[in-house]
Copies of this chain bind each other. A is one copy, B any other.
Amino acid sequence: MSMLLQEVVGELSKLPGIGRRTALRLAMHLLRMECDSVDDMTTAIARFRHDIKHCTCCNNLSDTELCPICTDAERDRSTICVVEQVADLLSIENTHQYRGLYHVLGGVISPMQGIAPSDLKIDLLCDRIEQGGVKEVILAISTSVEGETTLFYLMSRLRRFEGLRITSIARGIGFGDELEYVDELTITHAMLNRREIE
């Protein structure tokens, strides 16, 4: 095989979910693309890796010291939604319903993967709350074992802030989910947290 082809296939197959066969298909696609388009792509990748920053306030990805959400004067600064990762923040932003601020932990506590509370941006969150003005912290953490551990730990850290409302996003049956296929734990939660129909 051509060395150049071998190299590009080797590099692309280092990416998650991309095996050698997919890498080869991608390489063949690159050949069909204009040189300029390929250059645009490699430049975007290199610039992203070298120049991206983490917002010093909320740990969101940002081009600048502070991210556009933290600097947005229109947003409600009294509410902070805590998420595991940037992708979760983007999912919530896509709903266009939430107008508060965020805090990106950068993962969940996982002894198995050697992620301790100190590896997450929990101190930074406490500092933010200490500065005052925060009335509610919404915990939007996944319901995995690691997520629950993180939730528990966060609660122990946040409880000391007097008057701070700590909430968790609602658990229940998703829209479009078939009850038949929903797991028992979710159904149990959904039954216990049932609401009056108004």
A63→B3 CA distance, assembly (Å): 7
| Interface residues, chain A, with chain B CB atoms under 8 Å away | 1-5, 7-8, 10-12, 14-17, 22, 24-31, 33, 35, 37-52, 60-63, 67-68, 85-87, 90, 93
Number of this chain's copies in the assembly equals: 2
Q: Nearest Cβ distance between residue A11 and chain B, in whole angstroms?
A: 4
List of B residues within 8 angstroms of A39 by Cβ: 46, 49
Closest B residue to A45 by beta carbon equals B42
A28→B45 CA distance, assembly (Å): 11
A52:B2 contact, CB within 8 angstroms: yes
Q: Nearest Cβ distance between residue A178 and chain B, in whole angstroms?
A: 23
Closest B residue to A32 by beta carbon equals B16
Pick the 5 closest A-B CB pairs, nearest first.
Answer: A8-B48, A42-B42, A11-B41, A38-B49, A11-B44
21 contacts between A and B (CB under 8 A): A1-B93, A2-B52, A2-B67, A4-B47, A5-B52, A10-B44, A11-B45, A12-B41, A15-B26, A15-B29, A17-B25, A24-B87, A31-B49, A31-B52, A33-B49, A38-B45, A38-B46, A39-B46, A41-B45, A42-B43, A42-B45
Q: Nearest Cβ distance between residue A115 and chain B, in whole angstroms?
A: 13
A16→B12 CA distance, assembly (Å): 13
List of B residues within 8 angstroms of A16 by Cβ: 25-26, 29
